[in-house]
Amino acid sequence: MKDVKFGKDGLVPVITADAYTGRVLMQAYMNAEALDKTLATREAHYFSRSRNALWRKGETSGHFQRVVSLCTDCDNDCVLMRVVQTGAACHTGAYSCFFNNETVFEDIADPDVLRELESTIESRRNKPVDGSYTNYLLQKGREKICKKVGEESSEVIIAAMKDDKDELLNELADLYYHTFVLMNDRGVTFNQVLRVLKDRHSTDKHKKD
């Protein structure tokens, strides 16, 4: 990275975000050596001001950060780093360091719930739970799951034709759930689907250009 402006202390602030969701995970600092090591290894390295030492994220906890991209702000004096986080980013065990003194002015549904859904279904596959509907579907297999996806698709259409928004929202949620179960059963990940959508969007933009 060129033209990064380090402060008088030789450090530049770094904001680290989840590459998949955009959620801010932590804020730390890098010196030139930490930045070079991060670029060379694609693993997050920071400079600890309290220990006055370079540190590789996860070297003691195992909660490593695989770097997807880095960029600087308009003044080149702050770095934004997007990572794939293993485990928790915070030393407290929380996924993100940002959880104190929250003030919420508007409750906006977080799309992270889809990744949580994917994770929960995978967890049920690996560690079955008695009475779990998800485990029931996974045990029945593809034919049963496909049948449920078909049923939920029909119910979405019916709700839309009835012009019943509340019913439509519930049926869409059911369709999302059963689709994610089908994805798990067929070995398809949410990220793979997003990649297809992104490629289609890019192709469509080029056609318009």
| Digit-coded pLDDT (tens) for 38-59 | 999 999 999 999 999 999 999 9
CATH (domain of 133): 1.10.287.1080
CATH number of the domain within which 33 lies: 3.10.20.810
Which of 78, 73, 86 has its CA nearest to residue 18? Answer: 86
% of residues, the chain, pLDDT over 70: 97
- Identify whether 90 is part of a domain: no
* Nearest one of 190, 41, 22, 194 to 96, comparing CA atoms: 22
Domain span at 149: 112-208
**Do 64 and 117 lie in a common domain?**
no
pLDDT of residue 207: 66
pLDDT at 203 over 80: no
User: In the prediction, which pLDDT does 208 show?
Assistant: 62
User: Where does the pLDDT of residue 206 fall: very low under 50, low under 70, confident under 90, or very high at 90 and above?
Assistant: low
Q: Which of 71, 54, 55 is nearest to 63 (CA)?
A: 55
Q: Cα(77)–Cα(133) distance, rounded to whole angstroms?
A: 51
Is residue 98's pLDDT more than 80?
yes
Which residues have C-beta within 8 Å of that of residue 134, sequence separation ≥ 6? 120, 121, 124, 181
- Range with the lowest mean pLDDT among 7-11, 29-33, 158-162, 204-208? 204-208
Cross-strand pairs, 83: 18, 67
Domain count, the chain: 2
Domain closes at, from 67, 85, 103: 85
Residue 184 has pLDDT above 90, yes or no: yes
Domain assignment present for residue 97? The answer is: no
Q: What is the pLDDT of residues 57-76, one digit of tens each?
A: 999 999 999 999 999 999 99
Of 69, 22, 23, 64, the closest CA to residue 44 belongs to 64
| Average pLDDT value over all residues in the chain | 93
> Over 90: is that where the pLDDT of 201 sits?
no
Q: What's the confidence (pLDDT) of residue 205?
A: 63
- 104-135 pLDDT, tens digit per residue, is 898 877 777 888 899 899 999 999 999 999 99
Note whether 78 and 117 are same-domain residues.
no
